[in-house]
Chain A
Amino acid sequence: MLAGREARAQQTAAADGPALQPPQVKTPSAAEYPLQALHDHVTGTVNVVLVLQIDAGGVVKEATVPQPQGHGFDEAAITAARALVFFPATRDGDPIAAKIKYAYEFKSPPPKLIGRVATQATDRPIVDATVTVTDSAGQAHVVTSGADGSWIVNDELPPGAVHLRVTAPGKADLATDDQLAPGEETSLTLRLAPSAEAAAPAVDGGADAPEDIVVRGERPPREVVKRTLGREEIEHIPGTNGDALRSLQNLPGVARPPALSGALIVRGSAPQDTITYIDGTPVPLIYHFGGLSSVVPTETLDKIDFYPGNFSSQYGRGMGGVVDVGLRDPRSDGYHAMAQADLIDLRAILEAPIGNTGWKLLVGGRRSWFDVYLGPILSATTSGVSTAPRYYDYQAILEHDIGSHSSFRLAFFGSDDKLSLVNQNASSANPSFGGDIGSHTSFWRLQARYLNKITSNTEVRVTAAYGQDSVDLGVGVNALNTTSHPFSTRAELSQKSGQLLTMNVGLDMIYEPYGLTLQLPPPAIAGQPSGGPGQATIRSQTSNTLFLPGMYAELEVKPLRGMRIVPGLRGDYDDATRSWDVSPRINARQDLTTGFPRTTLKGGAGIFYQPPQPLDTDPRFGQTGLTSNRSVHYDVGVEQEITHAIDVSVDTYYKSFSNLVETGSGNSGDGYAYGLEILAKYKPDKHWFGWISYTLSRSMRRTSPSAEIAPFEYDQPQVLTVLGSYKWGKGWQLGGRFRFVSGDLYTSTSYAAFNASTGSQLGVTSVPTYGTRLPSFYALDVRVDKVWAFARWKFSMYLDVQNLTNHQNAEGESYNFNYTQSQHSTGLPILPVLGMRGEF
């Protein structure tokens, strides 16, 4: 940045006689405004007075600063002064050396403010949006966004606070505050949500359809979203039945779960290592059984924050990833309703403001109904099994805005999955796993949330929840029953201090009394085969309390232009192990360019702990003396805009694992995982959306330092997803998804012995376990949508066909009765799901 243009000489040289003339500037030299001063945000005018030694030739031989000003001004002035050339001082006409005082005046350069206006979810540019910038002197500057949504304030702006207000036809107004620093260019992306009117059902489900769900691959400290799945995308991804949380499985770093498991396998970690939240409140499960759908319908979501690793210090107690689902606020623009039915479930939502009280209410519910028609099919095809599972979930949200800066919300939500059947045809390998089979899993939460933006720099967010989790599993004489009543609270204070610094401090606590009853055979020792059926069951009945207080502090620092560094520290206490875990973490981003095409480098490192699970510390089935599982995450990546429509991001990661809890051997396990993730995404436009996601990874584990390290059960080296969808017009939309995934690992088994007491055949499991890989998985899914729009409502139908080519993907290995023959068991055949939906 060029600055300090006002230079002037002062005649102070000795002048004993009338023939003495001071030196005069022959060749001026301007001083550059120092970068350090910019970084230090020095404002106003700074004068640096120099003492110059000038020889008889007019050359500056020495320059000194009697009263230094710091911030780089002195060095800038000296550098400039050395380039000065003078007409020398003269005595009686003869050139002589002279010493003079010479001053440079530095004036802080003005800030520059540029930006872009786009739609909230799909990031499409908004043309002709009006941006009104009110500077620190109260002067308003009005600019308009161009064809690509960009805008620039050409007026000279003073440093300091600015207030921005953005308006655009069909969009809700947006107001925000920011700080401008001298000489810095501030670039803001302003994303507008649809106005209340525009959010009403749109004709043909077109480009202005509501767009209010955001799936973030990584959440930067401020609004710089890189992986965004809008609602338009989520609802039309083939093979997911429009389920937002199932769409996560199409992102890099997420492995394909085993068939009918509904597990989230993130960056080579076990499913239980990834923690799931609903608005900051931990919940025990995110999918109904079988992974058929998530426990929160897409229509009630505001956003999904997904962190595959290196997540912020605000999250803890997990070594894998984090999924934080945000429920949306009820709408305030009149009554709205939605009803949907497909072959899996039925759902309905109703929302409306409550009179003129300022309160808004949303109620919703969903129940599966495939038990009605699947039960008879199971009965006919698998004799002895006559009842199919069923699930339901429910949501009620009551929200009130208190002024323009704070809000209060109550939410009640829950889920219930149940299966009860009699399987009279027990397995010949283990007859005890037959007979009465029952599975009942449920949870509910009553959650209160208070938000207050106290000032433009201070924000408080408090969430507290109480609820119940219940699991009741029974197979023959084997049983697992647990009921707990978790109380969790999370509070965060965010304080912004100027342009450079924001501090977040928070508390994150769980208090959870629970009862646990187990009646099971002895736990298998890792790496050793089970004793087989017929072993005496062990019964354990315990009542205890999980007490997991945590606290964290995090800084968001911007030391250089385009750079953001977020160091954080988190402390977690586990009452079960009576120990503290301290987790330092740091993430950083650096924008290499400010305009299009944007290039950003990013990286992070941190320590992550996960306490042992209650079963691990159970007095009969668990162990004593355990400590938390530990993992260290490293991540380096780059994001690159290729065109205005296409972004590419590349991430590499490495995770080390240690202190892993292993059955019977304490915290003896360790391992590592590493990988490369690539996402090339075509942002939704009038016709298209789609992306290519590829993950190359490896995940290794061993049960003890003396054991051989081997691929982890969930190791899935290659995951490729290619998907796209096209709107043909007149309400028609056609999309496809192709997936290619490395086969799952399994433990091969061979002939061993016959337990003549129980009549069961036992096999020899290979060492190491999970040492054999199934053939690669691939499937093509297709989805067709048709929307009919009417004056006040719209009706839509869709056909979502999974595995269109009916490819027989191997999902496991089946053996004959004595393990001398085997063949692959295959997953879902072609599965068409027809659905319909009406809404207003």
Chain B
Amino acid sequence: MTTPRRVSFVGCMLLTIASACGATFTESNQVEGVRILAVRADPPYATPGTPVQLTALAYDARSSKPEPMVLSWLPSVCSDPKNDDYFQCYPAFIPEYPSGVDLTSQLTPGSTFSFTMPADVISAHATTAGTDPYGLATAFLMACAGHVQATPSAAGENLNANPFGCFDSSDNALGADEYVFAYSVVYSFDDRTNTNPTIDHLTFGGNAIDLGAGIDVAVCSQSDLEKCPTTKLDTVVTADNQELDPSALDISGHPLKEQLYVDYYVTAGKVKSDVIILYDPTSGKLDDTGDDFYSPRAVGDYLLWAVLHDNRGGVSWVQSSIHVH
């Protein structure tokens, strides 16, 4: 149109790509501390009044563990926060969880958590033009190698500043390698369903992985992980897992399908890309979805996870061991 001006979308995107290339950080897929890797909801879309079970995938990869990692949940879910923003739930935590107090007794421990989708979750949700009526519930969980305390917002902090912290026995705040704060959103529609996509199998070097036996690789003798030999890692998902997404239409108004993507996590070595898209809403199954696995530089037994997502909250995962000789 004539009046609006656009800052170059493509320029920003190219810069983002270029910037990512230049980064020298530890990759997201390299699990080296306390991590929450995924939460699966059964079912991913829940009608009002129906039960939902959440299962968390978490792992503690610290080499030294003064205190064990504990996975715990806030005991109640937050439904229909303002603007659907998870951090709009935070103000309600202030009176419920006083700061400076060990909250262990108030939290629900374990890797699973169940709740019932509120009956009024849709009717209580503000109507959004352009979408079918829906509601949502948000559950919060923490992986903490100590104990959890509420942390009041400091002046100048944004609305989404973390409302909880993890502290050791001396009440010293622990860092991101020992504490993860996470949330999981479950949507509710009257007549829409979603199923968690499933992984058919993984391949390693073109061969299917026997998840019971794991994979065997030779140790890398290079001092620089980037120079270690790579093996192609791929996730096979059958096409029937890509469901129609009624909320996404192409430019002609025809419904699109889900986007399916896989996150890899390893406790040794690394994979080249954290996220690989397997199925695109418009193109369907993509070619050449393999990722490069860099062989670890130390002998031992390690773990590999492939977490499959659809873009509507559907999740599943598989785990394999890695034997480095």
Contact = CB atoms under 8 A, between A and B. Distances in A.
Q: Do A and B bind each other?
A: yes
B24 interface: yes
Given A529-B87, A539-B249, A818-B176, A753 B273 contact: no
B39 A522 contact: no
Given A382-B17, A532-B86, A476 B259 contact: yes
Contacts of B38: 756, 759
B313 A764 contact: no
Contacts of B184: 755-757
B14 interface: yes
B9 A473 contact: yes
B152 to A, nearest CB: 14
Contacts of A611: 3
Contacts of A535: 84
A432 B311 contact: yes
B27 A817 contact: yes
Contacts of B249: 519, 539
Interface in B168-211: 175-176, 180-187
A539 B182 contact: no
Interface string A606-640: 00000101110001100000000000000000000
- B: contact size bracket: 35 or more
A498 interface: no
Residue among B1, B11, B184 having the largest count of chain A Cβ atoms under 10 Å: B1
* Most B CB within 10 A of own CB, among A378, A534, A752, A762: A534
A457 interface: no
Interface in B255-295: 256, 259, 261, 263, 272-277, 280-283, 286, 288-289
A814 B309 CA distance: 25
B5 A762 contact: no
Given A428-B263, A753-B183, A816-B26, A262 B11 contact: yes
B188 to A, nearest CB: 11
Interface string B146-175: 000000000011111110000000000001
A536 B134 contact: yes
B313 A290 contact: no
Contacts of B141: 756
A268 interface: no
B239 interface: no
Name the interface size band of chain A.
Answer: 35 or more
B23 interface: yes
Interface in B31-72: 36-39, 41, 56
Contact of B7 (A261, A469, A532, A541): A261
A289 B11 contact: yes
Contacts of B19: 811-812, 814, 825
B6 interface: yes
Contacts of B105: none
Interface in A258-297: 258-263, 271-272, 274, 276, 282-285, 287, 289-291
A276 B41 CA distance: 51
Interface stretch (A86-94, A479-487, A783-791): A479-487
A413 to B, nearest CB: 15
A284 B3 CA distance: 7
A823 B8 contact: no
A274 B4 CA distance: 10
Contacts of A825: 15, 18-19, 22-23
Given A260-B12, A271-B5, A284-B5, A754 B158 contact: no
A41 to B, nearest CB: 45
A274 B276 contact: no
Nearest to B21: A382
Interface stretch (B114-122, B124-132, B220-228, B296-304): B124-132
Contacts of B282: 436, 474
Contact of B129 (A276, A427, A536, A619): A619
A831 interface: no
Contacts of B11: 258-262, 289-291
10 contacts: A261-B7, A425-B273, A425-B274, A426-B277, A528-B85, A546-B1, A620-B129, A756-B141, A759-B309, A764-B158
Interface of B: 1-28, 36-39, 41, 56, 83-87, 128-131, 134, 141, 156-162, 175-176, 180-187, 245, 247-251, 253, 256, 259, 261, 263, 272-277, 280-283, 286, 288-289, 307, 309, 311, 313, 315
Given A272-B7, A481-B251, 14 more contacts: A258-B12, A423-B17, A431-B311, A436-B280, A436-B282, A477-B259, A522-B128, A529-B158, A619-B129, A752-B161, A752-B181, A767-B156, A814-B22, A817-B274
Closest CB pairs A-B (n = 7): A817-B28, A260-B11, A825-B19, A816-B25, A756-B39, A272-B5, A754-B182
